[in-house]
A and B are shown apart, each in its own frame.
Chain A
Amino acid sequence: MINNVPWLTTIVFFPILAGLMIPILSSDGNKIIRWYTLGICLLEFSLITYVFYCHFQIDSQSLQLLETFSWIDSIHFRWALGIDGLSMGLILLTGFVTTLATLGAWPITPNTRLFYFLMLVMYSGQIGVFVSRDILLFFLMWELELIPVYLLLSLWGGKKRLYSATKFVLYTAGGSIFLLLAALTMSFSGSDVPSFDIQDSIDKSYPVSLEILIYIGFLVAYAVKLPIIPFHTWLPDTHGEAHYSICMLLAGVLLKMGGYGLIRINLELLTHAHFFLGSGLMLFGAIQIAYASFISMSQHNLKKRIAYSSISHMGFVTIGIGSLTDSGIDGAMLQMISHGLIGAALFFLAGTCYDRTRTYLLDQLGGVATTLPKLFTMFSIFSLASLALLGMSGFVSELLVFIGVSTTEQYSFPFKIVITLVGAIGTVSTSIYLLSMLRRMFYGYRLVNQSNSYLIDLGPRELFILICLFLPILGIGSYPNLILPI
């Protein structure tokens, strides 16, 4: 790097420092706060893109933009940041989705200051997770998410928000315990000088059983976050109750933290254990796809339906990671990015629909296509993207994952067939539930006691958000080479 400006630290710290200035802003009228936060988010996002364009070489394999400051010497906890292709894609996704989520949170009226402050804190924390090279720093950023999400959920959520917020915190915190324990074990074993740096840990080799233990420890934490069955039960509650802009954040970025962690730590550092447990991962992933899509079919609550579809899509990530091939991992990464966009869009749509019709239940949402044409169009487009229609990014990623599964040499043939079959069943049922959701919502007869005057169609702001989300999906779908070399 020619110039030594600490870009990554700036990117991580900027939102939270800007957020600390929010209490100073005057509180008459929420407009100032909204525009301020939006401005900060945009600024941050442009910083990220700038860093990406100017300082990042796409072709190089190694870490870039490394920064290391020694922070707490006595426990060798260093402020070490660095990114590579995987992180960069996810950071771009974070910036994008968070900015749009801030935009999408326009209609929130109570307590806007706190809300936007928490959004900015989340922004910092998410980026921090993706750039940290030091396992303790990773853990710190991971834990940092807990409280803002809890507060965001419990203050602006739906009816059962306290329950779901508490569930979220307990689950995630419980999972992170294992992360800390595994991190500590990993750093202390095999060397006299404990080191948390990820780079050092790659070079270490561990006895196999210890490695499996550590792997399982990390896996529990990621399984809660990703989510992997059977640790997924927090997700429908949380996503069902949160306000839709928070859902965008949750589905768009937080779930990817789990996948990122899996790839970064388990894949790169604990390769032997990964060989052993990779087949388990694939199995769970395949089951997850099918299982979640079946549950989704029976949901009456729109948001919970989409939540289960999120779980189902993340199953692809798990399969991809477990497949031990390059194309599988590529597919997993691509799926993470594409699902981030699609999931965010779907939740946003569901939320705007709720804003208009005040109900999440599909039974009450009949036949609104004629009054809300734009909403209907967008919903259909994104549902089709979600079920991996040709030309959208979902298709490419799922194809890659399946290719990865089929070409892997590590597993026996019948196993591969089983996985592919189960995955295929899941994909088919995805289309079933998505289309049925569309049908129930938009086609059919309108309910008699619906008052039409409230059903205003999508405003320009919402349309803007959706189009922003749609373009990358289409772009990645048509030209995957945009993202893949990373």
Chain B
Amino acid sequence: MNDINSFLSRLNSIINFSTILPKIILIVGLITIVITDLVNKGKNANFLYKIFLISTLVSMGILFYQLISVIAFEDLYTNNTFNNLFRFFILICSFISVLLSVDYVLCSKISLVEFPLFKISAGLGGMILSCATNLITIYVSLEFLALSSCFLSGYTKRDIRSNEASMKFLLMSGASSSSLLNDFSLLYGFSDGQVQLDNIIDKILFSQYIPIICISAAFILAGTAFKLSLFPFHQWTPDVYEGSPTPVVAFFSVTSKVAALCLFTRLFRLIFPYLSNEWHIVVELLAISSMILGNLIVVTQRSFKRMLAYSSISQIGYVMIGILAADLENGYASMITYRFIYIFMNLGTFARITPFSLRTGSDNIKDYAGLYMKDPVLTFSLVLCLLSLGGIPPLSGFFGKLYLFWHGWKAGLYLSVTVALVTSVISIFYYLKIIKLMLTKTTNLVDTLKTYENQKSLVSSIISTKLKSSVEMAMILCALASTLSGLFMDPIIKITRNTFF
């Protein structure tokens, strides 16, 4: 008894419980899912999903509470607003993407249990990555995230493309993690054996090994840029996106990018402040090329998922402007706000593609023609999300971009902002093409659409009524968020403001 008491108090004093409480809840949820599945022997799918959703919701609630009230202390995990925000984002992403994936998993009759398992573990990895300030923690959580994502992308075992996607992902992520590890070992060596990031800065601040520090910066760039799919490390993105099952892609495209952004910002901001000029130039170059490349190639795509892959490449370019434009009073507000809005836009688009590909089995953009007649709700929410991605007022994408460009212009990044604006126009063109395709009535419908049935008739026999509309719920949520959050951007910005280190 005494031992337990002293253990608990020590636990409390060493690690403040509430920091890792969200993660503990997720872990508990994970274990519960595994156990439940073992017990039920594969039946009763709804229950599993409900557990997952509940655990995500609870941890989101706790994080939200933490966000609002200021709790400050220091240990292995620093708990400032930056970390909290990112963890919150990752939880939102996980939540919504699981909502999406319910129908998909059930319909395609792939094994049920591992899916939320991997999702939770990937989410966990992302969360730990967001607040890691220790080199080892960073690496471990990065690998955690990467491996879970790998499994997720290869989930549909019988699909060749899915196997190919997971193979590519594994190889590329392995290569980038090894380059990161290489760099970490360099940093470790420089700082005389320090693993904590803050201490590393102190140690290498007055070091005279500047060229080698440049090399280590290059390694870090290579490692993290892969995850972010910045140019020229973006080659994996279209293939993996096209091959993996759609809800997995939805999850990927937001969660791993959010986590990688956090990592990128933290690493560069903390370690190389006196290399900032060179770093600025390099990142600016990468950002400009990502934007140009992503937006130009997107015009020629025929597959929806590939198109979204290229568009996410260009979106990362925009976000890089936000990172470059960070300053003392505003912190990374522009980047984080845009990220937040982007999550909803992107997930919203995927939320529409998933049921569409379920019902028609096709990913071709041409097959979306005339969707307005068959399913107006889907069409309109897709239109809203696509327009928001393009940056049309009064949707939230416009406001996010406005804020981003405002900051960028203020910080003097004239070239980047100009390129970003020009490429935005190009992307508007492409999104409009899709929208036009969907809204026009075609006299002879494509074959795929002829067999288009509404949700109720296809799925209701399989699962209960509550979960039937989960995708719809995700759709509506995302559509609302992408439309309205621009108008109410002010409180969001206020929260994201004090995120400078």
Contacts and interface: CB of A to CB of B under 8 A. Distances in A.
Nearest to A142: B393
Interface string B345-361: 00000000000000000
A160 B325 CA distance: 43
A166 B430 CA distance: 10
Nearest to A178: B421
Contacts, number: 82
A162 B490 contact: no
Contacts of B410: 184, 188, 194
Contacts of A74: 330, 333, 403, 490, 493-494, 497
A117 B181 CA distance: 56
B440 A154 contact: yes
Interface stretch (A145-153, A249-257, A281-289): A145-153
Contacts of A181: 409, 417-418, 421
Nearest to A74: B493
Of the listed residues A74, A75, A181, the one surrounded by the most CB atoms of chain B closer than 10 A to its CB is A74
Interface in B368-427: 387, 392-394, 398-399, 402-403, 405-406, 409-410, 417-418, 421-422, 424-425
Contacts of A146: 392, 428
A169 interface: yes
A184 B393 contact: no
A337 B165 CA distance: 60
A72 B399 contact: yes
Among B402, B410, B429, B439, the most chain A Cβ lie within 10 Å of the Cβ of B402
A88 interface: no
A73 B489 CA distance: 9
Given A136-B402, A146-B392, A170 B425 contact: yes
A140 B393 contact: yes
Contact of B432 (A72, A111, A166, A177): A166
B439 A140 contact: no
A303 B433 CA distance: 26
A186 to B, nearest CB: 11
Nearest to B426: A170
A155 B429 contact: no
B436 interface: yes
A174 interface: yes
A71 interface: yes
> Which of A72, A73, A136 has most B Cβ within 10 Å?
A72
Interface in A397-445: none
Given A147-B392, A177-B422, A170 B490 contact: no
A72 B490 contact: yes
Contacts of B421: 177, 180-181
Contacts of A194: 410
B439 A155 contact: yes
Contact of B425 (A73, A110, A174, A184): A174
A154 B490 contact: no
A68 to B, nearest CB: 15
A110 B439 CA distance: 12
A146 B428 CA distance: 10
Nearest to A194: B410
A218 to B, nearest CB: 15
A295 to B, nearest CB: 27
Interface string A121-148: 0000000000000001000110110110
Given A154-B436, A170-B429, A188-B410, A143 B490 contact: no
Nearest to B490: A72
A166 B406 contact: no
A72 B396 CA distance: 13
Contacts of A174: 422, 425
A131 to B, nearest CB: 16
B302 interface: no
Nearest to B330: A74
A143 B392 contact: yes
Given A110-B441, A143-B393, A173-B428, 12 more contacts: A72-B490, A75-B406, A77-B402, A136-B402, A146-B392, A147-B432, A151-B439, A166-B433, A173-B425, A174-B425, A177-B418, A180-B421
In order of increasing CB-CB distance, the 6 nearest A-B pairs are A177-B421, A184-B409, A173-B425, A140-B393, A74-B493, A72-B490
18 contacts: A72-B399, A74-B333, A75-B406, A140-B393, A143-B393, A144-B393, A146-B428, A150-B432, A154-B436, A162-B436, A165-B436, A173-B428, A177-B421, A177-B422, A177-B425, A184-B409, A184-B410, A184-B417
